[in-house]
Every structure is written in structure tokens, then in C-alpha cells.
């Protein structure tokens, strides 16, 4: 329950919308809503790190699907991102370490030039952040929401510096551990995978061929994603103890073990950056909205990285919310009314739940080690690779089309 704030505000709320959280999803939401004509503020505790082409590639990268690229293009930021340092990929090859069964996706089969782009998180966030002011977004940074109170026609935010802000709608894009979600009384469901994703950038003996490679091992999936400079970004999901061991290896030992784990698909691993690791979990908010309050991105859902869809799901939240609020306003309705927010929440939570538990089921299936199950899994994958219409439906869904 929120702390009561001073009453007596009779004027209209100062702004239409406040977005709390300036990551990729929060910044995209603020920019999209401002461009759609809503007066918008973005509140963030820390400004993003300056991105520079002179710096090494950020360890955290994202595979942007066509739906995400279309949104960023619509917001006017995609050309800058693409021209700065982004790597398109036209193929995805996934194979099973236990039985060798593989499935291959080719952009040409979908009539597209690429399946997506591998881009640094920091580049996307920084480019969005730089575009906010010109779009009329009120940037409040550093700013932390200490508390908020919902009233009949507004939400009043109490900031840590003692200032207050009144808005018609509060959007929480403040991450998986969202303090605002907790203050709104919204719980979560899911499970901890007891795994960590070890990330690094590596140089390989053979070129990546504009292909996203993913091998399913009994310990978890290993992905090699193509970078613009010719290297590959590694996302290696491992049990926590094993992840800590791998992260602590010296470079030579890490390259050797990674080569074996990747079946030397790109030849020997000849060099690596320092490694980092982050925990993996499945988490879905029990509701996506409350009174004059909605969740976006990781505050609403976190998923297993095996399908590379986490940020793409968040950006699809942005598209759905922008379109829902814009349609309500064009009809002369209160865009922050409960039934309007319920419409957004119903559409996104349904899709996110199907995706999240679909990825979870895939992770469970590939963890099976019983030989009859391993054999059956291989038969299923080989059959799927031959079923072109079904493969195209899977590719279209991943693309957000």
C-alpha cells in the first residue's frame, strides 16, 4: 500500500504519462508516446553510459527482430543504430549435441534480407536517450520514485528529492525487480533456472557467415551470435557452479572449452574478451496493470534467453501500449481508464505467457537425457526442419510479424 500524499490538487495533471526506467524498453516507450502526442516524462536514476565507436563492443547484446527494427525505424533512431555498429544475420542454425538433429532458418525463405540484427544494448539505449529531448520528452535524471498515490484522475509521484509530479498514467519499466510493481501490490510467478549466462566476445578461426549459431547441450544452450567486427558474441547458459568455474578460467582454457562446447563449428576459438555472467529466471507478473498503472518489459516478464526474445517482447509491449492509448484518445476516451489498460494487458499478457512458457518448455525438453527421449527429440526436430509451412510460422512469430 502506498503512503498518503498531500491532497488538494485541483488543476489538471502536469503531464499525461510518466515512464519510470530509462532502459531500452522504457526509453522507447517514452519516445513513442511523446511522438504519438502524449506529454511524457522519463524518470531514471542513472543516465546511460556514453556509447562510442572507439570503445570495445558492449558485452550485453540483443538480437533485434524485424518488429523491433520497424518500431525503432518509426521512431527515427534505427538508421543511426544500424550505421553505428550493428550486424545483420540472414541464417540461424540450431542443433542438438546429443543426437545431431538440426533446424536451419534462412531469411531468403521468408522473402527477407535478414532475420534480424545483433546490436549492443548500450548503443540502442544511448541512441534512444539522445533522441528524447528533441521529441519533447521531459527527462528527469537522476530521479527516483519514493512513493506514489493513485487518485480518481491522476497518479501523484513523490520523488526522492522531495519534489512531486502528477500524471494521468504511470508506466513501470524499472526492471525485473521493479520496486513500482511491488508498491502496486502486483506479484509474480515463475521459477529460478539455477543457471547463469556467461557472456563474452570471441575471435574464431572461421567467419560467422552472418549466421546465429545455437547448440543445445545437456547443461544448457550455447549461442554464437555474429558481430559487426567479425567476432562472435557468446551466450553460454550453464548451471551456477559450472558458470562460475568457466568464468574464472584463464583465456586459453576458456577458448579451449568453448571450442569443444561449440563442436568447433567456427573452428578454433583464438581469442576472447573478459567474461561476465548474469542469472537466468522465468518471471511473469500476475497482472500487467492496476489503476492508472501499467507494466512494460522486464517489469512484466523475463524469459529464458535461448530464443533471444526478451527485449523484443518488451518492444512489442511498447507498440501495443502506444496503439491502445492512441486509439482511446482519438475516440475521446480517458486513455488511462481501467478498461483501456485492461485491453492492453489482456493482449500482451496472453502473448507473453505463451512465449515465456514455450521457451521454458523448450529448455526442459532439451534438458532430457534419457536416450528414448533424446531419440524422440531428434526425430521431432528433423521432421520440423522439413515442414516448411510450420517453419515459416515459427520464423514469422519470432519476427513479430
35 in a domain, yes or no? yes
CA-CA-CA-CA torsion sign (305, 311, 313, 314): positive
3-state secondary structure of 200: strand
The number of beta carbons lying within 10 Å of the beta carbon of residue 178 is 23
377 in a domain, yes or no? yes
Report the distance separating Cα 67 and Cα 69, nearest Å. 5
Report the distance separating Cα 107 and Cα 391, nearest Å. 12
- CA angle centred on 92, ends 90 and 96, rounded to 5°: 165
69 in a domain, yes or no? yes
Give me the phi and psi of 147, to 5 degrees please.
Answer: -165, 165
Which residue, 90, 344, 124, 84, is CA-closest to 229?
84
3-state secondary structure of 77: coil
Return all residues near 138 (Cβ < 8 A) that are at least 6 apart.
15, 39, 40, 41, 42
What range does the domain containing 330 cover? 15-399
Cα torsion at 265, 270, 275, 278 (round to 10°)? 0
DSSP 144: -
3 in a domain, yes or no? no
Radius of gyration of the chain (CA): 22
10 in a domain, yes or no? no
208 in a domain, yes or no? yes
- Number of domains comprising the chain: 1
The enclosing domain of 267 has a CATH number of 3.50.50.60
Pairing verdict, β 276-285 and 188-204: antiparallel
- CA angle centred on 279, ends 277 and 284, rounded to 5°: 145
* pLDDT of the chain, 401 residues: tens digit per residue: 343 333 333 466 889 999 999 999 999 999 999 999 999 999 999 999 899 999 999 999 999 999 999 999 999 999 999 999 999 999 999 999 888 888 898 999 888 899 999 999 999 999 999 999 999 999 999 999 999 999 999 999 999 999 999 999 999 999 999 999 999 999 999 999 999 999 999 999 999 999 999 999 999 999 999 999 999 999 999 999 999 999 999 999 999 999 999 999 999 999 999 999 999 999 999 999 999 999 999 999 999 887 667 899 999 999 999 999 999 999 999 999 999 999 999 999 998 888 888 888 777 777 767 788 777 777 777 777 677 776 667 666 665 65
299 in a domain, yes or no? yes
9 in a domain, yes or no? no
- CA angle centred on 57, ends 87 and 297, rounded to 5°: 75
Return all residues near 65 (Cβ < 8 A) that are at least 6 apart.
116, 309, 312, 398, 399, 400
Pairing verdict, β 40-43 and 15-20: parallel
Which residue, 324, 332, 266, is CA-closest to 296?
324
Report the distance separating Cα 288 and Cα 344, nearest Å. 8
Report the distance separating Cα 242 and Cα 136, nearest Å. 48
The C-alpha cell of 54 is what?
572507439
Left (φ > 0), alpha (ψ -120 to 50) or beta: where does 240 sit?
alpha
The C-alpha cell of 192 is what?
529460478
Which residue, 114, 143, 130, is CA-closest to 43?
143
Let me know: does 299 contact 181? Beta carbons within 8 Å. Answer: yes
Amino acid at each position: 500500500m502506498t503512503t498518503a500524499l498531500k491532497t488538494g490538487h485541483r488543476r489538471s495533471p502536469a503531464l499525461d504519462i510518466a515512464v519510470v526506467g530509462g532502459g531500452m524498453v522504457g526509453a522507447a516507450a517514452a519516445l513513442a508516446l511523446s511522438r504519438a502526442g502524449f506529454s511524457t516524462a522519463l524518470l531514471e536514476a542513472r543516465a546511460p553510459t556514453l556509447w562510442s565507436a572507439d570503445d570495445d563492443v558492449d558485452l550485453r547484446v540483443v538480437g533485434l527482430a524485424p518488429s523491433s527494427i520497424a518500431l525503432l525505424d518509426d521512431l527515427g533512431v534505427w538508421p543511426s543504430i544500424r550505421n553505428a555498429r550493428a550486424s545483420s544475420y540472414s541464417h540461424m542454425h540450431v542443433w542438438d549435441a546429443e543426437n545431431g538433429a538440426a533446424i536451419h532458418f534462412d531469411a531468403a525463405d521468408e522473402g527477407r534480407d535478414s532475420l534480424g540484427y545483433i546490436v549492443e544494448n548500450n548503443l540502442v539505449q544511448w541512441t534512444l536517450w539522445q533522441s528524447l529531448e528533441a521529441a519533447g520528452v521531459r527527462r528527469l535524471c537522476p530521479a527516483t520514485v519514493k512513493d506514489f498515490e493513485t487518485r480518481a484522475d491522476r497518479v501523484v509521484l513523490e520523488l526522492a528529492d522531495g519534489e512531486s509530479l502528477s500524471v494521468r498514467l504511470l508506466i513501470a519499466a524499472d526492471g525485473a525487480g521493479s520496486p513500482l510493481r511491488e508498491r502496486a501490490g502486483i506479484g509474480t510467478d515463475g521459477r529460478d533456472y539455477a543457471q547463469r549466462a556467461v557472456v563474452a566476445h570471441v575471435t574464431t578461426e572461421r567467419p560467422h557467415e552472418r549466421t546465429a549459431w545455437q547448440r543445445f547441450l545437456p547443461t544448457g544452450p550455447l549461442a554464437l551470435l555474429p558481430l559487426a567486427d567479425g567476432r562472435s558474441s557468446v551466450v553460454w547458459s550453464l548451471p551456477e557452479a559450472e558458470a562460475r568455474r568457466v568464468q574464472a578460467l584463464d583465456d586459453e582454457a576458456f577458448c579451449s572449452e568453448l571450442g569443444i562446447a561449440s563442436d568447433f563449428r567456427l573452428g578454433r576459438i583464438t581469442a576472447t574478451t573478459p567474461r561476465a555472467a548474469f542469472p537466468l529466471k522465468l518471471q511473469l507478473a500476475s497482472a500487467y496493470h492496476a489503476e492508472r498503472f501499467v507494466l512494460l518489459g522486464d517489469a512484466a516478464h523475463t524469459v529464458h534467453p535461448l530464443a533471444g526474445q526478451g527485449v523484443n517482447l518488451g518492444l512489442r509491449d511498447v507498440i501495443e501500449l502506444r496503439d491502445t492509448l492512441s486509439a482511446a484518445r482519438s475516440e475521446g476516451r480517458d486513455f488511462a481508464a481501467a478498461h483501456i489498460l485492461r485491453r492492453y494487458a489482456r493482449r500482451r499478457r496472453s502473448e507473453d505467457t505463451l512465449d515465456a512458457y514455450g521457451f521454458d518448455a523448450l529448455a526442459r525438453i532439451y534438458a532430457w537425457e534419457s536416450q528414448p527421449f533424446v531419440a524422440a527429440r531428434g526425430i521431432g526436430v528433423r521432421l520440423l526442419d522439413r515442414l516448411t509451412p510450420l517453419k515459416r510460422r515459427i520464423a514469422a512469430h519470432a519476427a513479430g510479424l
